[in-house]
Structure 1
Amino acid sequence: MMHPELESDDYSDFAERRVLAAPVELAGERLDAALAKLLPEYSRSRLAGWIKEGKVSVDDAPASPKTRLWGGERLAVDIQPDPAEVAFAPEPVPLEVIHQDAAILVLNKPAGLVVHPGSGNWSGTVLNGLLHRFPELKGVPRAGIVHRLDKDTSGLMVVARTLAAQNHLVQQLQARTVKRHYLAIAQGLVPGDGRVDAPIGRHPRDRIRMAVTGTGKPAVTHYRVLERFTGHTLVECRLETGRTHQIRVHMAHIGFPLAADPVYGGRPRLFSPEINLALQDFARQALHAKKLSLVHPETGKTMTWKAPLPEDFELLLAALRAEHGLDADWDDDDWDDGDDDGVEVTYVRD
């Protein structure tokens, strides 16, 4: 089938403009079906999306996927880059780097920042920021990222700066020698310390969620009660494994979902107006990666970093304590009972 291109222009807001004359043999065809034949290198769904976004015109007029062609029309298509193809581009994303040397970086990630590009978040991620600030990371798979935090989980994560360091860290993660401790606020009164050993996989009906399932991968979470309030409990969670949403899924599985968790929070519970307002203001799962400990890939020395609670977490804790009539006498630095004897510890301060 002949479909002569009339012109090809370069525009700043899209990769390429393709302008074609609709062949007479496509008379009666819908615009989306016709473009699928004229531009077979692009999927029909992608072409239909461009039409809906106003990236396609027929005789210089807006069109819809259902627009019928009669032959001879001037079709202009503003070709949009595939998000997956441009995801690994450097961007000036602000990053709080709390430790850096020739082998590793340690970041204190804020809530709301996505770690790795993916569906719905193809730019503005930790990975994009790493490539901008540390260009050499383009030579390391995934820009050196070896583990992730959920978008709305704050706290510490390590990044490798070399292939050797990345391999070393991945081996540590597999051997479960990287220690990751989190602070979480759970709904309900957790009766005591415990351990959850339950496999995690994709939810059988909702594929964007994870769930405890017999066909999932092994997952182990240890939890310890630190402080109880009227209807919530502050707990420390320690990961043996690193499954997607692991703490959130495991705590929900045992009946104590994390406060303000929009995915695994379960049915709304009745709290005082003050606590309801505090939870609305918090607007994310109450989870913070507080402590990270690992063996340095080059020196062999065990190093530990601790990050303070972010302001929103502190405000939620203050509201819970006030409702329960508690003073804020819990020491943020002593939450892990000083288990760092003989280990180099770096405290991150605001």
Structure 2
Amino acid sequence: MTADDRINGEFEVPPELSDRRLDQAVAELMPEHSRSRIQGWIKDGDLTVNGKVKKPRDKVMLGDRILVSAEPEVQVTWEAESIDLDIVYEDEHLLVINKPAGLVVHPAAGHAAGTLVNALLNYAPEVDKLPRAGIVHRLDKDTSGIMVVARSLVAHTSLVDQLQTRTMGREYDAVIVGTITGGGIVDQPIGRHPNQRKKMAVVRDGKPAVTHYRLVERFPAHTLVRCKLESGRTHQIRVHMSHIRHPLVGDPVYGGRMRLPQGCTPELKEALRKFQRQALHARQLTLVHPETDEEMTWEVPLPQDIQELLAALRAHAKALESL
């Protein structure tokens, strides 16, 4: 790596940042970088104040000289692949896509290729210079719907901040087992399952997680609900709905064995049996544009498989009404 490849900066603390924490002051001076990355530079000695290594919480004073010389975050090498993307919106900072069910977001063991990251590297090669190829939030492989990808460092920092401060709005549609009479809130911490490490669960020492849900359409033994997240824990909606004994239809991890409703028609039985993924779709995304500060909202329709499932549920309801 040459000197030109490093992240370099030289600043003199202005009056408005005097008596602020070092990491806070640098975050103001270098807003394109996240606070956690800046803290890492400080701890590694890549950021000094008046030639001395400090701690992130140390205060800076008017006229202090801050020097930064840090290596960019090391990226794993992933291959670009020509994979079709359903692009909802794009500009130089953002890429909003409608992810189909079945598409893995990040390369990992067992999924080294054919992922969203591979597709992004082909469509927008600039994301190779960003942490996690610009992906700031993810959808499970078998969850469909809308997600945003950063195309610039400024956008990445802004989107991460919006997620952390819970100002990014995300709504999901889900088909759950059982009927409810109205909406509610699940406020339960989520962490690793104590015995099954590949699963998440509601656990006492988990991270705070809040899911709001409301009734959209009720069927004889199922309900279409709309969920809004306050937090973004792994498998959050799936875990929370299962916790209140209304797991998602088709969920292979948290759904338990398939339950057929009383008086189930052959058509509904077939629809439920062939639905082999969690019935979960990210329908709407709201955020503040990192460059213009404009609030923007996008919405994508339900995919074909969930529409067919809902059609079968409606037909079953009509069949029962005619008895």
| Inter-partner Cα distance in structure 1 for 2:253 and 2:240 | 13
Identity, in percent, stands at 60
Q: Deviations over 1:297-341 (max 9, x none)?
A: 000000000001111110000000010019xxxxxxxxxxxxxxx
| Inter-partner Cα distance in structure 2 for 1:174 and 1:86 | 24
| Inter-partner Cα distance in structure 2 for 1:233 and 1:268 | 15
Gapped runs of 5+ residues in structure 2? Answer: 1-74
Q: Which residue, out of 217, 238, 244, partners 2:228?
A: 238
Give runs of ≥4 in structure 1 deviating > 4 Å. Answer: none
Tell me the equivalent position of 1:247: 237
Q: TM-score, normalised by structure 1?
A: 0.67
SS class of match (2:207): coil
Higher relative contact order (CA 8 A, sep 6+): 2
Q: Deviations over 1:212-255 (max 9, x none)?
A: 00121110000000111011000000001000000000000001
Is 1:304 the equivalent of 2:294? no
SS class of match (1:142): helix
1:219 and 1:242 in contact (8 A); partners too: yes
SS class of match (2:227): strand
Superposition deviation, residue 119 in structure 1: 2.1
Q: Which has the larger radius of gyration?
A: 1
Gapped runs of 5+ residues in structure 1? Answer: 1-84, 327-350
2:179 and 2:218 in contact (8 A); partners too: yes
2:172 and 2:227 in contact (8 A); partners too: yes
Superposition deviation, residue 97 in structure 1: 1.2
Give RMSD over aligned pairs. Answer: 1.4
Tell me the equivalent position of 1:16: none
Is 1:111 the equivalent of 2:90? no
1:87 and 1:123 in contact (8 A); partners too: no
| Inter-partner Cα distance in structure 2 for 1:216 and 1:249 | 12
SS class of match (2:191): strand
Q: Which residue, out of 123, 141, 147, partners 1:157?
A: 147
The residue type equivalent to 1:94 in the other structure is D
Is 1:201 the equivalent of 2:168? no
Q: TM-score, normalised by structure 2?
A: 0.73
The residue type equivalent to 2:108 in the other structure is G
The residue type equivalent to 1:172 in the other structure is Q
| Inter-partner Cα distance in structure 2 for 1:221 and 1:108 | 22
| Inter-partner Cα distance in structure 2 for 1:179 and 1:86 | 30
Superposition deviation, residue 86 in structure 1: 7.2
2:250 and 2:279 in contact (8 A); partners too: yes
Q: Deviations over 1:90-112 (max 9, x none)?
A: 11122111100011010000000
SS class of match (1:98): strand
> What is the total number of aligned residue pairs between the two structures?
242
The residue type equivalent to 2:314 in the other structure is R
Superposition deviation, residue 191 in structure 1: 2.7
Tell me the equivalent position of 2:276: 283
| Inter-partner Cα distance in structure 2 for 1:251 and 1:190 | 12
| Inter-partner Cα distance in structure 2 for 1:242 and 1:123 | 25
Is 1:125 the equivalent of 2:115? yes
SS class of match (1:303): strand
2:250 and 2:258 in contact (8 A); partners too: no
Superposition deviation, residue 87 in structure 1: 6.0
